[in-house]
Amino acid sequence: MKKILIIGATSAIAEATARRYAKKGSKLYLIARNGERLATLATDLKIRGASSVDTALLDVNERGSQGPVLEQATKTLGLIDVALIAHGTLGDQKGCEQDAEKALLEFETNAVSTLALLTRLATIFEKQHAGTIAVISSVAGDRGRPSNYVYGTAKAAITTFCEGLQARLFKSGVHVLIIKPGLVATPMTEGLSLPAMLVAEPDLVARDIVRAIEKRTDTLYTPWFWKYIMAIIIHIPTALFKKANL
Ligand SMILES: NC(=O)c1ccc[n+]([C@@H]2O[C@H](COP(=O)([O-])OP(=O)(O)OC[C@H]3O[C@@H](n4cnc5c(N)ncnc54)[C@H](OP(=O)(O)O)[C@@H]3O)[C@@H](O)[C@H]2O)c1
């Protein structure tokens, strides 16, 4: 029976992933900031087959609370097989361009909180000598674009940090998975005008995440075709890219 810790557990992608682990009879520990949604999710996951579901409240930006919450999770689960970090916000890019504090708050939520959590989890997993730390980054971190470069910068920070962790924790037998979804139909993208052909359902992304954890993949593009889309985007010469208005 696997023991799974999920931070940002009420995110649509995290919920879909938790449902897949519940079906396998896993023991779940869910962390999020919305107590009501957390309680509803916990009930649903028990019905779906989870062997147990414990929960804890955390606003990830309250960094002083991260340590005690993770300590409690470790006490409850014992050895953690998988820790998934899934929280995030797709901030108002235009607003961030006009207001430095707003831009920094986006960076705080999407990068700083995650780097702090990763630092704490790395210590826990290094002692375990086993398990997977999985983090949802984004294809948006692969190249800065005018439409979302504040969010993209935060995701690039997560990706680079995790590349370092992959090499550090490899020596302790710990797997670090960097997850780069493309466009996914979740509350985060609701109301945006997106090319329907490129938008994936959260359950498909969850399937890919569970598989990548099992295979100990280093970097997952999900759905798969984003690997090729991003390979093209990364290689567009800057002189052309600046004019493309992506
Ligand atoms: N949807 C996409 O197209 C897409 C693409 C690439 C990457 N991603 C990434 O995928 C991950 C999951 O997002 P999603 O698409 O599933 O969106 P979502 O359903 O909107 O989930 C975002 C989650 O982040 C939580 N959150 C935000 N700020 C928080 C804070 N300060 N403390 C605690 N929790 C906080 C939200 O909690 P509340 O419900 O309480 O606000 C919510 O549960 C994110 O990291 C996102 O950046 C998404």
Q: What is the phi/psi pair of residue 238, to 5°?
A: -55, -40
Among 6, 87, 92, 148, residue to substitute to test ligand 1 (most atoms within 8 Å of Cβ): 87
Tens digit of pLDDT for each residue in 22-51? 999 999 999 999 999 999 999 999 999 999
Structural domain including 107 reads 3-244
Among 65, 186, 190, residue to substitute to test ligand 1 (most atoms within 8 Å of Cβ): 186
The alpha-helical segments, DSSP class H, found in 108-140 are: 113-128
166: its two tokens: 């992959």
> How many A from CA of 21 to the centre of ligand 1?
19
Helix (H, G, I), strand (E, B) or coil at 129: coil
The Cα–Cα gap between 2 and 20 comes to 12
* Residue 245, pLDDT above cutoff 80: no
The total domain count for the chain is 1
156: its two tokens: 């690039």
For position 186, which CATH number holds? 3.40.50.720
> For position 244, what pLDDT does the model report?
84
Interaxial angle between packed helices 12-23 and 202-215, expressed in degrees from 0 to 180 and rounded to the nearest 10? 60
Q: Exposed, middle or buried by CB within 10 Å (0-12, 13-18, 19+), for 187? A: exposed
Q: Does the CB atom of residue 35 touch ligand 1 within 6 A? A: no
Average pLDDT for the chain: 97
* Residue 168, pLDDT above cutoff 90: yes
> For position 31, what pLDDT does the model report?
98
User: Using CA of residue 221, residue 227, residue 230, residue 235, what is the dihedral sign?
Assistant: positive
* Residue 220, pLDDT above cutoff 90: yes
The pLDDT of 80-100, averaged and rounded, is 96
* Residue 157, pLDDT above cutoff 80: yes
Q: Does the CB atom of residue 187 touch ligand 1 within 6 A? A: yes
